[in-house]
Every structure is written in C-alpha cells, then in structure tokens.
Chains A and B, each alone.
Chain A
C-alpha cells in the first residue's frame, strides 16, 4: 500500500497567521490517465471528516478560500493563509491513485 507521511504531526499556530502541512508519498501519485488523486480532509473535534480539497488543489464547495492545496508527484502541501479558531482540527491527506486508498497519519492544528 502507498504510504503517506504528514509533517508536522502537531502544529501550534497563531490566529491570523499562515500554516502549512506537508504530505509526502512513497510513490508518485500521478495516475496513468494523468490526474493526481490527492485529497485533504478536515476532522474537527468530535466530528466526522469532511473533504476540503481534491485532486491536489480543487477546493470543495463551501470551503473557505483561505485553504489551498498544491504539489505534484510525491510532495503535496495544504496551506491555510490566515488561521481562524474554526480551523482547529486534525487534517489528513489521502491518495486514491493507487489501490487501496490510503490516508496520512494526520496533523493536529491547535492554537498557540
């Protein structure tokens, strides 16, 4: 199975400042058809996960513009331009290029 490694595991952030989470894969996530199936999910405390971004950089409907995704091949990044209190959560990357779909171990974002 494809391994996704997120860093950092824990990310203390200051309100209003940017934050960045890395997701590295042990294989290229470029599908043979050319798409890259790398998604980001947010799981707030006590809630189920919700998808923020799919195919590296496409924001889901209703996701604030302060969230953005980038990357290619094996290296991907989720950025929050200005962290708000509502962003406290665990963030997971997930790949669906290779079967089975696999998730990173998660990054916990908390306010300093």
Chain B
C-alpha cells in the first residue's frame, strides 16, 4: 500500500525558515518524481514544486522560486522541502504527492499524504 507521511509543519515568523519532510512507503521511491502541493485552509490547491526520481531535475512555482528548495534522499525514501524567507502568503497545508513514473509526464498526483500545516505569523 502506498503511503506518504509528511512532517515538519510549524508556526514560524515572517522571514523564518522551515524544512518539511515526506516519508514514502509501498512503492519504489526512486522510480517516481515527487511534488509538493499546498492548500490554504478553506481554499484551493496550488502546485509548489517537483523533483525527478534521480534528483536531476527540479521545478518550482514562480511564487516560491529562489526561496524554496526541493530535494530527496532515495535511500531514506524521503522527500524534503526547505522553505526560507517565509511570507504570510506561504501559510498553508503542504501535501506531498507521488508524481510521474520514469518517462511519463509530470502532474500525476496519484497518491497524497495527509498534509502538514505551516503557519506564518509574528
């Protein structure tokens, strides 16, 4: 059974930093790209970042480019999102989602974690 378990969400002050983690199980982690998608509570979904299975390629939404860094450790089957210079508008539930298998188009999102809440406030 595919499982994704996020952690690391917290209350942080504007300008602060946070690292989110997502531990995967139930599939060959290195064979899949992974993405982060966020959702302001009560609002819609927004794709944030993606990384290829081998970490060769990384992609970011314009709103987080230069501030967030996606990475992964395939031995630990863990996806990360390093978030710096946090702004009030970054406050959201952050979901990790399984993305494309090799040689497939991104934007699959066939499995999602339960999410981790990031609050940004002084």
Instruction: Tell me which of B45, B61, B95 has the highest count of chain A C-beta atoms within 10 A of its own C-beta.
Output: B45
Q: Judge whether B44 is part of the interface by a CB distance below 8 angstroms.
A: yes
What sequence of 0s and 1s flags, for each residue 43-65 of chain B, a beta carbon within 8 Å of any chain A beta carbon?
A: 01111000000000001010000
Instruction: Give the docked Cα–Cα distance between A50 and B47 (Å).
Output: 15
Knowing A48-B113, A48-B114, A49-B95, the reply to whether A96 touches B45 (Cβ < 8 A) is no
Binding-face segment, B68-76, B81-89, B103-111? B103-111
Instruction: Give the docked Cα–Cα distance between A49 and B109 (Å).
Output: 9
Instruction: Tell me which of B35, B106, B114 has the highest count of chain A C-beta atoms within 10 A of its own C-beta.
Output: B106
Please report the total number of A residues contacting B with Cβ < 8 Å: 23
- The listed residue (B61, B95, B105) touching A96 by CB distance below 8 A is B105
**Which A positions have Cβ atoms within 8 angstroms of B?**
31, 35, 37, 39, 41, 48-51, 54, 60, 92, 94-96, 99-106
Q: Which residues of A contact B107 (CB under 8 A)?
A: 37, 39, 94-96, 101
Knowing A101-B47, A103-B46, the reply to whether A51 touches B61 (Cβ < 8 A) is no
- The listed residue (B59, B105, B109, B110) touching A35 by CB distance below 8 A is B105
A-B pair number, CB within 8 angstroms: 54
Q: Identify whether the interface residues of A are mostly helix, strand, loop, or mixed.
A: loop
What are 30 A-B contacts with C-beta separation under 8 Å?
A37-B105, A37-B107, A39-B107, A39-B109, A41-B45, A41-B109, A48-B95, A48-B114, A48-B115, A49-B95, A49-B109, A51-B110, A51-B111, A60-B110, A92-B45, A94-B45, A95-B107, A96-B107, A99-B59, A100-B47, A100-B61, A101-B35, A101-B107, A102-B47, A103-B44, A103-B45, A103-B47, A104-B44, A105-B44, A106-B45
Shortest Cβ distance from A38 into B: residue: B107
Shortest Cβ distance from B110 into A: residue: A51
Instruction: Give the docked Cα–Cα distance between A106 and B40 (Å).
Output: 13
Q: Is B44 a contact partner of A92 (Cβ separation < 8 A)?
A: yes
Q: Is B112 a contact partner of A101 (Cβ separation < 8 A)?
A: no
Q: Is B109 a contact partner of A51 (Cβ separation < 8 A)?
A: yes
Instruction: Give the docked Cα–Cα distance between A49 and B113 (Å).
Output: 9
Q: Which residues of B contact A48 (CB under 8 A)?
A: 95, 112-115
The 8 closest A-B pairs by CB, nearest first: A96-B107, A101-B107, A103-B45, A48-B112, A101-B47, A105-B44, A51-B110, A106-B44
